[in-house]
A and B are shown apart, each in its own frame.
Chain A
Amino acid sequence: MKRKLYTVITFAKLNTKRYFRDKTAIFFTVAFPLIFLFIFGGIFGKSGDVSFRIALINQSDTHIATTFVDEAKKQTKLFKIDDEATSMAAAKEKMNRGELDAAIVLPKEFGTTQTGAKTPTGTAQIYYTQNNQTAAQTLAPVLNAALAPINAQFTNTDMPFKVAAEQTNDKGLSAFDYTFAGLLGFSLLGLGIFGPVNVFPELKKQGILRRYSTTPIRVWQYFTANMISQVAIGLFAMTVMFAVAIAVFQLNVVGNIFELAIFLALSIVTMLGIGLAVGGWARNERQAAPFANLVTFPMMFLSGTFFPRFLMPEWLQQVSAFIPLTPIIDGIRLIATEGKHFVDILPQLGIIGIWVILIYCIAFRVFRWE
């Protein structure tokens, strides 16, 4: 047994060494996911606020209208004002193209005092397309709120009922937390599936695996060696991703690092099983590639790699919960950013456990050395 383990350890050690000498491999496992991290981190990284792109068309020249526009421009968190759309026609065109969510028009009489009235009045008009009802529903109260201080100036009364908003110190999950867990999932697909699926047919083509089969090494030894080296490589790649996410995107890791590392190792082993099954079965690239795509695409789109699963319809969420990558991505997020422990994520661990057994049973059965 000791000799059999020596075989495993030596193969694992040399696999790992080879990886760190191979710049292309490092690029695809570390740099490639990092590029995605920067792209997606840039999109979702800012904050979780709803942002609208609007046109603000001021047709009035009153002081009140100008004050309103200045106030609106300060609300950068809520909406972004398009500087180019200054006429209704231009705004409409942009709205139709989906570039703008709504147009706010201050009509000519906005802020003027009508005959017989004591105070100046005006109605700001929100225009929106059929597809953008949410924008209007959100903007109307926002604009009302923006007008409140102006109203108060004229009516000079203190409103009896108010809503006060205050930030708590607990940091809720931001969109980036979801994005980051998803990106780790994407990186796992590369490490566990695309890597072996590309490498194995090549090793078979050159007769390298066939040569191993003339030695007494067993499939389980070869698989275990690959698991160990891939876990080592994967943990290295993920450590880099966590470091960048923490340093650049203020990711807040609250979970137990030790539990996280074990969970990530388990995740790598799970995904590697799929890679070993497909790459180990395929005789050549032509067999491997379509099969790999068939297996990875559902995971890529349904497990929450690029967009969170809570955006999916209910039935799809329920179905996709059982895809192997889903409990992995959920588990990473639950441990890393929500500080959950293994006892809290037993359902996820259960699904992963079942998959690991199933996947490796298949992988052992279909593996061929040539």
Chain B
Amino acid sequence: MLMKEAKDILVVKDLKKVYGDKTAVDGISFTVKKGEIFGILGPNGAGKTTTLEMIETLRPIDGGEAYLDGVNVAQYPQKIKSLIGVQPQSPAFQDKTKLTEIIELFAAAYGEKVNVQEFLEDVNLTDKANSYVEQLSGGQKQRISIAAALVHSPKVFFMDEPTTGLDPQARRHLWELIQHVRDRGITVILTTHYLEEAEMLCDRVAIMDSGKIIALDTPKALVKELLGRGFKKAQHVEQANLEDVFIDLTGKALRD
């Protein structure tokens, strides 16, 4: 029992969120292990974002409970805030702010003073250090946003659809970055629409629909289970797809 406590960084029990007569999150339970990349998949309106927002203390929990690193989320939201880093769906910063200042600002929000250059280096933005944030490309904005979310060395990093709207190069680069974050011992919990992203990146995924978790396992095990039920694709699958062609032709180098 004690072992399990130490291994599970997030424990969610029977979590509920109700908006009027609509149940957005309908009593879900799951655990996230320390140091894994955990994906929450599902169609729009499945309750992915609402689930994250409850754990991030942004929305009140209507039923059930969540423990992050052993801390009750509903009871100690202020403590939770210093344990987590949050990457919103479309990161935005106030105009006329330099990248160095964004790092400085977010560190200050946690009451900390950090080596700004080090954090910019982590996300490959040292040459943009003195640019204003509005001069950045979409991918660069995602990266500075990740750096800003990690200034206080959180235990869990939440990302809501991090690669939506990025070009293939930027997306691949972001995957590497996410893996790099995980390698530093930070647990990553992300939502995504892109299934190949989940397959490539996530150690385990939970598939949500209508507020419920309908499957939870490693991507491989989920595929195996489906094949085991005798599933066959209608179309013959090639060993490469159009994205592979695109990357082969245009290269992996970042374009921003």
Q: Chain A residues in contact with chain B, CB under 8 A?
A: 3-4, 6-7, 10-11, 14, 17-18, 21-22, 203, 206-208, 210-217
Contacts and interface: CB of A to CB of B under 8 A. Distances in A.
B96 A18 contact: yes
Contacts of A7: 108-111
B221 interface: no
Contacts of B88: 207, 210-211
Interface stretch (B3-11, B76-84, B185-193, B238-246): B76-84
Interface string B177-215: 000000000000000000000000000000000000000
B151 to A, nearest CB: 9
B92 interface: yes
B108 A10 contact: yes
Main secondary structure of the interface of A (DSSP, over half): helix
B252 interface: no
Interface in B78-100: 78, 81-82, 84, 86, 88-97
A120 B134 CA distance: 85
Contacts of B106: 215
19 contacts: A6-B108, A7-B111, A11-B108, A14-B104, A17-B96, A17-B101, A22-B96, A203-B94, A207-B89, A208-B94, A210-B58, A214-B81, A214-B84, A214-B86, A215-B110, A216-B81, A216-B110, A216-B111, A217-B109
A207 B90 contact: yes
Contact of A212 (B57, B82, B109): B109
Contacts of A206: 92
Given A6-B113, A11-B108, A214 B94 contact: no
A98 to B, nearest CB: 49
Nearest to A25: B96
A21 B105 contact: no
B95 A6 contact: no
B217 interface: no
A211 B105 CA distance: 12
B96 A21 contact: yes
A214 B57 contact: yes
B62 interface: no
Interface residues of B, number: 29
A17 B97 CA distance: 8
Given A212-B109, A216-B110, A216-B111, A18 B94 contact: yes
A307 to B, nearest CB: 37
Interface centre among B86, B90, B92 (most CB of A within 10 A): B92
Given A203-B94, A215-B109, 11 more contacts: A4-B111, A10-B105, A10-B108, A18-B94, A206-B92, A207-B88, A207-B89, A212-B109, A215-B81, A216-B81, A216-B110
A208 B92 contact: yes
Nearest to B158: A214
| A-B interface, 6 closest residue pairs, ranked by CB to CB distance from nearest | A3-B111, A10-B108, A206-B92, A215-B109, A214-B86, A21-B96
B112 interface: yes
A217 B132 CA distance: 23
Contact of B97 (A4, A14, A203, A213): A14
B112 A3 contact: yes
A214 B91 CA distance: 13
B56 interface: yes
Contact of A208 (B86, B93, B110): B93
A11 B56 CA distance: 23
Contacts, number: 65
B56 A18 contact: no
Contacts of B57: 214
A6 B111 contact: yes
A14 to B, nearest CB: 5
Contacts of B95: 18, 22
A370 B95 CA distance: 18
B242 to A, nearest CB: 33
Contacts of A22: 95-96
A334 B81 CA distance: 48
B226 to A, nearest CB: 36
A330 to B, nearest CB: 36
Contacts of A212: 109
Given A7-B108, A17-B101, A210-B58, A216 B82 contact: yes
B64 to A, nearest CB: 21
A11 B111 CA distance: 11
Nearest to A370: B58
A207 B86 CA distance: 12
Contacts of B104: 10, 14
Nearest to B108: A10
Interface centre among B91, B94, B132 (most CB of A within 10 A): B94
Nearest to B56: A214
B78 A216 contact: yes
Contacts of B58: 210, 213-214
A44 B84 CA distance: 60
Contacts of B110: 7, 215-216
Contacts of B90: 207
A231 B92 CA distance: 26
B105 A207 contact: no
